[in-house]
Amino acid sequence: MAEAHQAVAFQFTITPEGIDLQLSHEALRQVYISGLRSWKKKFIRMKNSFITGVYPASPSSWLFVVIAILATMYTRSDPSMGLIAKIQEHLPVSQSLSVQCQTVVSAVLFSTLLWLSLIFTMRLCLKQLLSYHRWMFEQHGKMSNTTKVWVALVRIFSGRQPLLYSYQGSLPNLPVPAIKDTLKQYLESVRPLMSASEFERMTKLATQFENTLGNRLQWYLKLKALWATNYVSDWWEEYIYLRGRSPIMVNSNYYGMDFLYVTPTPIQAARAGNTLHAFLLYRRKLNREELKPWLLRSSVPCCSYQFERMFDTCRIPGEITDTVQHWQDSDYVAVYHRGRYFRLWLYKGGKMLSPREIELQIQKILDDPSPPLPGEEKLGALTAGDRVPWARTRKQFFSSGVNKRSLDCIEKAAFFVTLDDDEHGMMGDDPAASLDRYAKSLLHGKCYDRWFDKSFSVVVYKNGKNGLNAEHSWADAPVVAHLWEYVLATDSFQLGYNEEGHCKGDVDPNLPQPQRLTWDIPSECREQVSQSLAVAQALADDVDFHVFSFRDFGKGRIKKCRLSPDAFIQLALQLAYYRERGMFCLTYEASMTRLFREGRTETVRSCSNESCAFVKALEGGEDTELCRRLLRLATEKHQHLYRMAMTGAGIDRHLFCLYVVSKYLGVESPFLKEVLSEPWRLSTSQTPVQQVELFDLVNHPEYISCGGGFGPVADDGYGVSYIIVGENMINFHISCKHSCTQTDSHKFGAQIRQALLDLLALISPDQRDPTRGGKTQAKKDL
C-alpha cells in the first residue's frame, strides 16, 4: 500500500559488500514536520498555561513591578521594609556577585514575590466578587447601587483580553445548600402533585430524615466540598452517565440539526469538506484558547472546563462503569460509508487540508466500490446496545491484533463522520413528516451507522444536509451547541462554495488515499453484534418524534408583554400537558451552574404551586383579570426558581449527592429512596443561541438553525427541547414512546401550539389570532 511505503523513513539491505542503507527523504521530511507541529502545539499550550496562570495580571505586569521597585530603590527608599536586605543575606551566590548585583537580584526576587502576591490577592478578590449573586434577582433594567459598584469592581479585577480558561482559577466553588432549605423547597415543589394524605406522609419522611440521617450525610458532603473543586460534577458524570448499563443511544445521546430552510450545497462531498474544515478551525481556536469565555451580561464569567474534552475523546465501555478517555490532538477522523470504516488524514506536512482537498478525499471514499468485510457493516451496533455485552465483547475480540488497531483508530480519532446514503431535511410533499424522520435519523440512524461512544459524530447526507449526534457524559448541550453554531456559520458565511457547489481552495495532487480499516470478526462476535442491533432497533422503533416550527410569534412579542420567554414557554408546556392528561407531573428543566468552577447543570422544577393555580384558573373559566395576575405570578416564580438553580441553591443535585453518600456509608433512607425514584414525565431543555453575532438574521433570515433534541426520559413521558430563534420563531423537538398509549408527540405538539396562542391571547387580547378558537380549536387540531 502506498501509505505504508510513505511511512517508512529508511530501508536497508544486507549484501556481501555490507549494508546498503536507503533513506526516504520525503518520509524524513514528514517526520520532521510532524515533530515541529507537535512542539509548536506544546509551546502554545505552555504559553497559554502561563498566561492563564498569572491572570488577571499579564506577564508584562511583572516587568512593570520590577522597574517600579528598582526605580524606588534608586531614590534611596526601601519599599520592601527590609525584606530585600534579608533576601540579599541568604543569596546562595552572594560571594561571586558584586554588592550592586546582589542588590539588583534581591530586588528582582522581591518584585517577583510581590507580583505573585498581588496576583493571588486579585484572584481572591475576584473569587469573592463572583460569589455575589444578588444581581441576578434584581428586576431587569433596575440595578441597585450595590450591584453597580459590584459590576465596576468585577471589571477592574477581571483584567483584559482573557483566554478561554483565564477565569477558571477565580471561579467560586459550588456551595452546599442547607438541609433545611433543600427539604423546604422539595416539599413545596411536590405539593401540587400529591394528595393531602400523600403530602402529609412525605412531610413526615422529610422531617425524620432531617432529624436523623440528614445531618450526618451533610457533614460528609461539606467535607467533600472543602476538598474537591465541585461536590457534584464528578459523581454526576459517574453515576448518572457512566454507570448506566442501558443503551446510550436515545437514552443519553442527543442531536443537533442543520439549517432549517437552507442547504448551502447539494453535493455531499463538498458539504463534508467545508464542515470538517470548519471543525478543524474551531479546534485550532480551542487549542490556542482563542475562544472567548462565556460572559453573562458581558461581565460575569462562566466555567469553560467542559471544552477540554470536546475533540479526540471517546467513551470506553466497562462491565461496571464506563470511562471517558481523552487523547492529544489526532490528525485524522474516522469515516463510515456503506458498511466500511476509513481513516481520513486531515493534515499533510503539518498543514491543515483545504476544504477542496477534504472534498476530494471524501469523494474518493464515496467512489470506493469495495464491499464491507465480514462482520464490518453493522459493527457500530455494539455502541448502540447494552453496555455490559459491549464491554465484554470489546475485551474478548478487540484487545489485540488487527481489531485492536482498527478500534484504536476510531476511538482516538478527532471525531467520527458518517456519510449517509439517505436524504433528509424539510423537503417533499410533507415537510413536517420529513423533519420528524430527519430528527429520528440524527438521534439513532440505522442503529449501526454511528459510533455513539465518540464525543460527537457528524452525519452528512446524500443531499448535502448534515447534523450531529453527541455523547452526553463529557459535556452538556450548550457546549456542543457553541461548536455547532460556529461550524454552521463558518461553512456558509466564511468558507462558502463556488458556482458549481464545490468547495474552494487549492489541491495537492499527492494526497495519500483514505485508508480502509481492516477487521477480523469471528462468528461469536457477529452474534453479539446481531443481539446488540436487535436491542437498539427495538429502542429506536419505539421512539415517536415530532419537530415543528412555531412562527405565529416569538420572544419579541413575549418581551413586549414584559414576560420571560422561557417562563412563558414553560407555562405553555404545563397548560398543554394538563389539557392532554388532565393532571400535572414532575417537570424537569435543565439549568446551568457554570457560574461555579466545573459546574454543569441543576434542575428547575417547573411545575410549581403558582403554575398549577394558573392552569386550573384558566381551564376552570375564571375571570380574565385573575388569570392574567396568576400568569404573571407563575412566570415570576419560574424565573425565581431558575435563578436559584443557577446560583447553587437548587435542590435536586444536593439530594442526589446526599443519596450517593448514603450508599457509600451503607445506610438506607426511605426519604431519599423515594425522592430519587420519582419519574420525570416531562423533561424539557432550552437550546440557547450563544453566538448571535455569527448570524445575520436580518439580511439572511433563512439561515436559521432548527436546534436539536433528545429522547424521552420516562417511558410514559415526553422529552421537549426548544430553541428561541430571532424575534419571531420557536422550534420544538418532542419525543415520546409508541409503546405508551397515553403519549403522542404530534398531539402534544398541537397542544403546545394552542397553549402558546391562548397565553398570548390572555395577556394581549388585541393580538389574538381570529382563526383560532381556544380549547375548541385545540380539540379540532387533535
Q: At 254, is the secondary structure helix, strand, or coil? A: strand
The three grid cell numbers given for residue 752, joined into one nine-digit string: 403546545
Neighbours of 572 (CB within 10 A): 23
Contact criterion met (CB below 8 Å) for 585 and 713: no
Phi, psi of 513 (to 5 degrees): -70, 145
Q: At 112, is the secondary structure helix, strand, or coil? A: helix
- What is the amino acid identity at position 459? V
Separation of alpha carbons 441 and 468, rounded Å: 10
Quick one: which of 29, 37, 35, 32 has its CA closest to 284? 37
- CA-angle at 150, arms to 146 and 152, nearest 5°: 120
Quick one: which of 688, 687, 658, 695 has its CA closest to 673? 658
Phi, psi of 639 (to 5 degrees): -60, -40
Q: Can you point out the beta strands (E) in 691-762? A: 708-710, 718-725, 729-737
Neighbours of 39 (CB within 10 A): 10
Residues 6+ apart with CB under 8 A from 244: 251, 252, 387
Contact criterion met (CB below 8 Å) for 419 and 344: no
Separation of alpha carbons 665 and 213, rounded Å: 11
Residue that is written with C-alpha cell 478517555 in the block: 325
**Annotated catalytic residue 472:** yes
- Out of 472, 482, 654, 733, which one is annotated catalytic? 472
Separation of alpha carbons 698 and 727, rounded Å: 10
Q: At 402, is the secondary structure helix, strand, or coil? A: helix
The three grid cell numbers given for residue 290, joined into one nine-digit string: 482563542
Separation of alpha carbons 703 and 684, rounded Å: 25
Quick one: which of 601, 607, 573 has its CA closest to 678? 607
Q: Phi-psi region for residue 557, left (φ > 0), alpha (ψ -120 to 50) or beta?
A: alpha
Separation of alpha carbons 626 and 60, rounded Å: 62
Separation of alpha carbons 252 and 259, rounded Å: 24
Give the DSSP letter string of 742-767: T--HHHHHHHHHHHHHHHHHHH-GGG
Separation of alpha carbons 369 and 298, rounded Å: 53
Where b means 16+ CB within 10 Å and e means fewer, 528-548 reads bbebbbebbbebbebbbbbbb
- What is the amino acid identity at position 353? L
- What is the amino acid identity at position 566? D
CA dist list (Å): 657 to 180, 187, 224, 237, 676:
15, 18, 10, 12, 11
Residue 353 Cα to chain centre, angstroms: 27
Cross-strand pairs, 337? 340
Quick one: which of 709, 678, 699, 715 has its CA closest to 194? 678
Neighbours of 662 (CB within 10 A): 20
Contact criterion met (CB below 8 Å) for 172 and 635: no
Residue that is written with C-alpha cell 442547607 in the block: 178
* Residues with catalytic roles: 472
